[in-house]
Amino acid sequence: MIKITPTELNLVAQYIQAISGIYLDQSKTYLFETRLSSVAEAHGCANYQDLYNLAKRDLSKKIEKEIVDAITTNETLFFRDKGPFELLQHKILPEVIDARSGKSALKPRIKIWSAAASTGQELYSIAIVIKELLKDSNDYTFTLLGTDISDAAIAQASYGKYNRFEIERGLDKKNLQKYFTLLGDSWKIKDEIRAMVNFKKLNLMQPFSALGKFDIIFCRNVAIYFTLADRKTLFTKLAGSLNDDGYLIIGSTESLTGVCPLFVPKRHLRSIFYQKK
C-alpha cells in the first residue's frame, strides 16, 4: 500500500471535498490509503501527488470517477430502519394520494426521489411498498427517481442484482420470493419493480432544480459526510425541490436542528418526517 504524506493528505482531502462534498477527517490516514492506494497503483502512480495531477489533467474525468467510487461509502440495505417505510405506507402515501386525487382530469402524478440512492435498495424498497399498497392499480402515475454521485453504485442499482450478503439484509422471505429471481449465486429484481424506477448520476453539491419538484424526498445518510455549511446549502436546495405539501425523510440519526429552518419535524407513530414551514 502506498503511504500518504501530510502534504498529499491535505491536497487529496481538499480535492475530494471539491468534487463530492465529502469531508474526510485528515487524522484518518488509513482511510485515504486503503481506499485510494489501488486507484493510484492501477494508473501507475507512485504517490498521491501523481494521482492528483493525473486526475486533474484527465479531461474524460475517468480517474475522478474512480476516486469517487473508491471514497464513497455505499453502505445501505433494504428497508433500512423500517420506520420510514411504515410511515410511507400508512401515512405519507395515503395523504399524498388523497391530496393529488380528483384535482384535474389527468391521472395524478406522484414524484418520489431517493437522493443518495447508493446501490438502489432504498428506492426498490419504496417501489415494493407502493406495489404492495396499490397492487396493480392504474389510477396514479408514479415517478421514482434514484440518484447518486457514484457511477459504480448507480450501475449496480440499474442492474438490480444483489449478492446473498446484500439480499439477506432487510428483505424478508416473502418479498424476496415475490420480487426477486435467483440468478446464479445472486438475486435480480423482477421487471415489474425495475420498470417502476429510474436511476441516474447526480452530485448533490451541484444544482438540481432541473429535476423539478417532488412529493416525497428521501435524503438519508449522505449529509453526514458533508460539512455543516454544505449541509445547510443542501437542505435549502431540497426545500426548493419539494412541493409545499411534500414530505422529506432523513436518516434516523440525522437532525435538521441548526441546519435548515425551512423544515419542521413532525411525528407519526414512532417515526419522524419533515415538512416545509
Partner 1 sequence: MKNLSILVVDDDPVLRHLLRKRLKIAGYSVESAEDGYVARDLIHKQSFDVVLTDLMMPGDIGGLEVLELAKEKDSSIEVVLITAHSSVDTAVQAMKKGAADYLEKPVNFDELFLRLDKIANIQTMYRSAVDLRLALSRTEGEAGQTIQMLELLCGKLQQSLDEIETTLEKDGATSEERVASALAIIRET
For residues 19 and 67, the answer to whether their CB atoms sit within 8 Å is yes
Listed in sequence order, the residues at least 6 apart from 264 whose beta carbon sits closer than 8 Å to its beta carbon are 274, 275, 276, 277
The residue from 41, 98, 132, 168 that contacts partner 1 (CB under 8 A) is: 168
Report the 3 state secondary structure along the chain. CCCCCHHHHHHHHHHHHHHHCCCCCCCCHHHHHHHHHHHHHHCCCCCHHHHHHHHHHCCCCHHHHHHHHHHCCCCCCCCCCCHHHHHHHHHHHHHHHHHHCCCCCCCCEEEEEECCCCCCHHHHHHHHHHHHHHCCCCCCEEEEEEEECCHHHHHHHHHCEEEHHHHCCCCCHHHHHHHEEEECCEEEECHHHHCCEEEEECCCCCCCHHHCCEEEEEECCCHHHCCHHHHHHHHHHHHHCEEEEEEEEECCCCCCCCCCCCEEEEEECCEEEEEEC
- 185 part of the interface to partner 1, by CB under 8 A: yes
- 148 part of the interface to ligand SAM, by CB under 6 A: yes
Between 153 and 248, whose beta carbon lies closer to ligand SAM?
153
Size of the site for ligand SAM (CB under 6 A): 25
Count of CB atoms situated within 10 Å of the CB of 121: 26
Picked from partner 1, ligand SAM, none, the partner binding residue 205 (CB below 5 to 8 A depending on kind) is ligand SAM
- Restricting to residues 217-276, name those near ligand SAM by CB under 6 A: 220-222, 225, 251
- Residue 31 Cβ vs partner 1, minimum distance, rounded to whole Å: 17
Between 61 and 109, whose beta carbon lies closer to ligand SAM?
61
The residue from 26, 203, 252, 275 that contacts ligand SAM (CB under 6 A) is: 203
* Only segment of 17-25, 89-97, 131-139, 188-196 that touches ligand SAM (CB under 6 A): 17-25
The residue from 165, 174, 210, 229 that contacts partner 1 (CB under 8 A) is: 165
Question: Which residue matches cell numbers 401515512?
Answer: 91
- Restricting to residues 54-93, name those near ligand SAM by CB under 6 A: 72-76, 80
- Residue 13 Cβ vs partner 1, minimum distance, rounded to whole Å: 25
- 150 part of the interface to ligand SAM, by CB under 6 A: yes
- 184 part of the interface to partner 1, by CB under 8 A: yes
Cell digits of residue 250: 432523513
Residues 198-237 as x/- pattern, contact with partner 1 by CB under 8 A: ----------------------------------------
- Restricting to residues 114-143, name those near ligand SAM by CB under 6 A: 116, 118, 122
Picked from ligand SAM, partner 1, none, the partner binding residue 254 (CB below 5 to 8 A depending on kind) is partner 1
> What gap in Å lies between CA 71 and CA 27, rounded to an integer?
16
- 173 part of the interface to partner 1, by CB under 8 A: no
- Residue 86 Cβ vs partner 1, minimum distance, rounded to whole Å: 14
Q: Where along the sequence are the contacts to ligand SAM (CB under 6 A)? A: 20-22, 72-76, 80, 116, 118, 122, 148-150, 153, 202-205, 220-222, 225, 251
